[in-house]
């Protein structure tokens, strides 16, 4: 039988050995993992902007990088919607630069084909992160994607699914007077004859809290970027 002294020494030693192994593996893989996370963010921006992987061009890390560099311009704007010229999204620290926001623009052959903005906020279980993309008119949804959330599989986690995300495409988040109204996921199916259906999408049954959260933080995100998109709307009309 081992005495208490032995037990304490043994557990201390084994904890130290295991902690050492784990921390050295962690630090040696950290760089690769971070590159994966960055590529994944770019992949999500591309998806929300309507890019799709193909047989010839599967989304490996290199391809994502190449497509992104070729067709997406990154900007930083301030809370008045002005583009800050000497900064890139990588440079902003959300904790320090509370008035600076990243913005991505899809440009193909010199023509603007859409914008993507990050959205995030509380769902039911935790913070959800994604991108919302906007047509060049500055008023129509082009797509929505999520890259991180912990919502219930089969219920709230349906926000990940194409059927749900497809509903946003073509919806307007601006009413006819030019006011920002956001896009609401409602309970049940959207009644197409209703005058409100232009900014409503079918909700997820059994996931009321997730939908509510999503509606709120989508509107919040759009509010932040509204000064910029007001200019976009003016320009696209004029």
Partner 1 sequence: MSLLSKQSKNTVVDPLMANNPISLQVLGICSALAVTVKMDTAVVMTLAVIAVLSISNTVISLLRKMIPAKVRIIVQLSVIASMVILTDLILQAYMYDISKQLTVFVSLIITNCIIMGRAEAFAMQNGPWRSFLDGLGNALGYGLILIGVAFFRELLGSGTIYGFQVVPDSFYAAGYENMGLMTLSPGAFIILGLIVWAQRIIGKVEQE
In the numeric block, the tokens 């089969």 are attached to 154
Residues 87-116 touching partner 1, rule: CB under 8 A, are none
Q: Output Rg (C-alpha) for the chain, integer angstroms.
A: 22
Q: Per-residue x/- marks for partner 1, 154-173, CB under 8 A?
A: x-------------------
Least separation in angstroms between CB 115 and partner 1: 26
Q: Does 205 interact with partner 1 (rule: CB under 8 A)?
A: no
CB nearer to partner 1: pick between 29 and 66? 29
Q: How many residues does the chain have?
A: 238
**How far, in Å, CA of 197 to CA of 215, rounded?**
15
**How far, in Å, CA of 176 to CA of 178, rounded?**
5
Least separation in angstroms between CB 26 and partner 1: 6
Least separation in angstroms between CB 232 and partner 1: 33
CB nearer to partner 1: pick between 61 and 233? 61
CB nearer to partner 1: pick between 145 and 184? 145
Residues 7-36 touching partner 1, rule: CB under 8 A, are 7, 10-11, 14-15, 18, 21-22, 25-26, 29, 32-33, 36
Sheet containing strand 111-122, strands side by side: 83-84, 72-78, 100-108, 111-122, 127-134, 141-148
**How far, in Å, CA of 105 to CA of 170, rounded?**
18
Least separation in angstroms between CB 65 and partner 1: 14
**How far, in Å, CA of 220 to CA of 218, rounded?**
5
Q: Which of 37, 42, 45 has its CA nearest to residue 134?
A: 45
Least separation in angstroms between CB 77 and partner 1: 29
Total residues at interface with partner 1 (CB under 8 A): 22
Tell me which H or E stretch contains 47: helix 4-48
CB 186 within 8 A of CB 87: no
Residues that bind partner 1 (CB under 8 A): 1-2, 6-7, 10-11, 14-15, 18, 21-22, 25-26, 29, 32-33, 36-37, 39-40, 153-154
């Amino acid at each position: 039988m081992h005495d208490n002294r032995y037990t304490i020494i043994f557990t201390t030693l084994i904890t130290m050995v295991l902690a050492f192994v784990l921390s050295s593996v962690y630090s040696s893989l950290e760089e690769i993992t971070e590159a994966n996370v960055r590529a994944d963010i770019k992949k999500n921006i591309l998806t929300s902007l309507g890019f799709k992987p193909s047989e010839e061009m599967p989304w490996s890390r290199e391809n994502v990088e190449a497509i992104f560099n070729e067709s997406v311009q990154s900007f930083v704007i301030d809370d008045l919607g002005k583009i800050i010229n000497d900064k890139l999204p990588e440079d902003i620290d959300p904790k320090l630069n509370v008035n600076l926001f990243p913005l991505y623009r899809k440009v193909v052959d010199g023509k603007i084909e859409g914008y993507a903005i990050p959205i995030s906020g509380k769902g039911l279980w935790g913070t959800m992160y994604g991108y919302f993309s906007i047509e060049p008119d500055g008023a129509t949804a082009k797509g929505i994607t999520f890259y991180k959330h912990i919502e219930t599989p089969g219920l709230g986690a349906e926000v990940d699914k194409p059927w749900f995300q497809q509903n946003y495409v073509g919806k307007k988040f601006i009413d006819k007077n030019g006011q920002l109204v956001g896009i609401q996921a409602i309970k049940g199916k959207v009644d197409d004859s209703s005058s409100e259906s232009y900014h409503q999408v079918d909700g997820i049954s059994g996931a009321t809290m997730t939908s509510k959260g999503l509606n709120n933080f989508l509107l919040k995100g759009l509010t932040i970027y509204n000064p910029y998109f007001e200019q976009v709307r003016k320009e696209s009309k004029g």
